[in-house]
Chains A and B, each alone.
Chain A
Amino acid sequence: MEKFEKVHGVAAPMPLINIDTDMIIPKVHLKTIKRSGLGVVLFDEMRYHDHGGENEEFVLNKPAYRNTEILVAGDNFGCGSSREHAPWAIKDFGIKVVISTSFADIFFNNCFKNGILPIVVEEEHHAVLMEDAHKGENARMTVHLEDQTITTSDGVEIAFDIDPHRKHCLLNGLDDIGLTMEKDHHIDKFEEHASQARPWV
């Protein structure tokens, strides 16, 4: 996985709460057997008209937000299905950071597996960031993972929390499976014990 360091880019506002994974990527696009190429259908039903063609009102279709790298979203972002196609589409579009007041659990986990940084902030900070995101292309936000800070286009600095293990993995682009396999002997030992304690499993 690519190493995550710092993002300095356009932030787009999506204040709607409860944006679910069906909105992020509808099921018609889950029939792929690959991970790539889903950026074009990110937010498909909001982004395109029923009869085809782009919906100009949708934020990511506006000229100022076509190169969005940071999404400032409403509460409970990513609720619903476990489909990892949601973060795959976000990543493929070019978005590297999603900021909200809360995320659904599975979506939150899935982001880290794909080098996307989901950041939870307090409501008051969220309001500041949402306002900054509304400023468009010339107002770039900076997210610094090592320092755990978000800096608005006006230079307001907001600190955020992140699990140290996840931070370490993102910063170093580490592959979870490889890491776990280094602990193989623990798993062997557990299996040996469990086969005695719960042989019916």
Chain B
Amino acid sequence: MSPKTLYDKIWDAHVAHEAEDGTSLLYIDRHLVHEVTSPQAFEGLRMAGRKVRAPEKTIAVPDHNVPTTADRVNGIENPESRIQVEALDKNAKDFGIHYYPVHDVRQGIVHIVGPEQGWTLPGMTVVCGDSHTATHGAFGALAHGIGTSEVEHVLATQTLIQKKSKNMKVEITGKLQPGVTAKDITLAVIGETGTAGGTGYVIEYCGEAIRNLSMEGRMTVCNMAIEGGARAGLIAPDETTFEYVKGRPHAPKGAQWEAAMEWWKTLYTDEGAHFDKVVTIRGEDIAPVVTWGTSPEDVLPITASVPNPDDFEGGKVDAARRSLEYMGLEAGQKLSDVEIDTVFIGSCTNGRIEDLRAAAEILKGKKIKDGMRAMVVPGSGLVRLQAEEEGLADIFKEAGFEWRLAGCSMCLAMNPDQLQPGERCAATSNRNFEGRQGRGGRTHLLSPAMAAAAAITGRLTDVRELM
């Protein structure tokens, strides 16, 4: 038998039907659902008189629209947001799917709740009407975002019509320098490959620096595979993975656990398996990074200066010029001189407990700069609870941060957490697109520790200076 990649193995285990031209019906093990991309899909089912084929494999949670302030117990003020969340309440009930409503302590960002509750397991296929579904690849699950028509397709048939992607390997060798995190790895990779570098591929991340990451760090890395254009990002499961999964509410137990482990331990890329594209980066070469432009590929070490658009080639010249104008930056300006007025710590990229610990470590005993608006939005109610038990919430509050309830919040600013035109934010989220955090708002992507450092100094800051 010819050697297979991890992606090949998971793919092969889920093909329910393959046509002669390679068009396949891929069986879906877990379907995660949120309020923004699902209402039209459920409506489609109703109109066709169809039901959800596998409600026991379908899990819903409202996250994009929900307010993160304490007054949300009184209901959602924005009528459109409220209608979307109420529609999900009703759809979950009518179609009998698992549901974590707004007031449930387990509610949170769908990509944080799935792993936390043990829904996400190695070797699974996981989809959600959200591009950051790539996050679940950290478990060695084939996980990717889909559109609403495909949400409806999965609800009705538990399958997706797919053609197999190509295999790409991203290897991060060696060890990371102090102050360098999973977020810096994933941004550095996109800086190297570009936002279209992964188009047509499923990426497997490997190498010593990846192996040494915790599960939460691995989720951060895979989360942004989509920003590199890839269909999905994967990391082969190992002891770190099994340790994380064991004992979670929906993880297998007893004899089932043993049976699962037997299969999970075969989920790695065989020696000699073929990759269509390989990128290798030395872990030692990765610095704490920030973005300067309006594409996640606009990445530079914090020690660098804003680039000159004329130094790029092709369409990137105009794109970079447009970015600098939008961002209000000058070529040659030192990144560490860029002043910010807002800090956002949270999102499916960096809203887990280790992210909050890393930020709190920098903030301990310090205050944020006068006039700074800073907020922490834990990724789930359980992350929030744990952070309160560990005393992290007090550190944030004493430093001057707002301590919020769980949700997507200012990552995409669908709820009231938004930037005003011209405001500049250091954000631990995943996209720095024009208007992403609010019309006219300016976003610099970075790690939680770097965000904390920026909150203290009031400018983009090399976290190593505060360590």
A-side residues, CB < 8 A to B, are 15-18, 20, 22-23, 26-28, 30-35, 45, 50, 74-76, 79-84, 87, 102-106, 109-110, 113-114, 163-165, 176-177, 179-181, 183-184, 186-187, 189-191, 194, 197-201
Contacts and interface: CB of A to CB of B under 8 A. Distances in A.
Interface of B: 13, 16-17, 19, 21, 23, 25, 27, 29, 36-37, 39-40, 43, 48, 50, 53, 57, 64-65, 78, 80-81, 83-84, 87, 121, 123-124, 129-131, 144-150, 152-153, 156-159, 161, 163, 195-196, 199-200, 226, 229-231, 252, 256-257, 259-260, 263, 295, 297, 314-316, 318-319, 322, 412-414, 421, 431, 433-436, 439-440
Most chain A beta-carbon neighbours within 10 Å: one of B37, B84, B252, B433 = B433
B290 to A, nearest CB: 18
Contact of B159 (A22, A76, A187): A187
Given A34-B40, A106-B131, A177 B81 contact: no
15 contacts: A31-B36, A31-B83, A50-B440, A76-B195, A81-B431, A82-B146, A102-B196, A105-B229, A105-B230, A180-B157, A180-B161, A181-B157, A183-B16, A200-B259, A201-B29
A200 B258 CA distance: 10
B147 A82 contact: yes
B39 to A, nearest CB: 4
Contacts of B413: 27
A110 B123 CA distance: 26
B161 A83 contact: no
A45 B13 CA distance: 44
B256 A183 contact: no
B316 A114 contact: no
Contacts of A84: 37, 40, 129, 147-149
Contact of B65 (A31, A45, A184): A31
A124 to B, nearest CB: 13
B37 A22 contact: no
Nearest to A46: B434
A187 B318 contact: no
Contacts of A113: 147, 149-150
B414 A27 contact: yes
A31 B21 CA distance: 38
A74 B295 CA distance: 14
Nearest to B408: A27
A105 B256 contact: no
Contacts of A183: 16-17, 25
A102 B199 contact: yes
A186 B431 contact: no
Contacts of A201: 29, 57, 121, 124
Contacts of A189: 16
Contact of A22 (B87, B318, B436): B436
B229 A76 contact: yes
Nearest to B26: A190
A109 B200 CA distance: 12
Contacts of B259: 199-200
A101 to B, nearest CB: 9
A54 B19 CA distance: 48
A18 B84 contact: no
A177 B156 contact: yes
A17 B319 contact: yes
A22 B149 contact: no
Most chain B beta-carbon neighbours within 10 Å: one of A80, A105, A164, A187 = A105
B147 A199 contact: no
B48 A177 contact: yes
Nearest to A76: B196
Given A81-B412, A109-B147, A177-B156, 16 more contacts: A20-B295, A33-B43, A76-B229, A79-B196, A81-B145, A83-B147, A84-B147, A106-B145, A177-B48, A177-B50, A180-B156, A186-B25, A187-B159, A190-B17, A198-B13, A199-B256
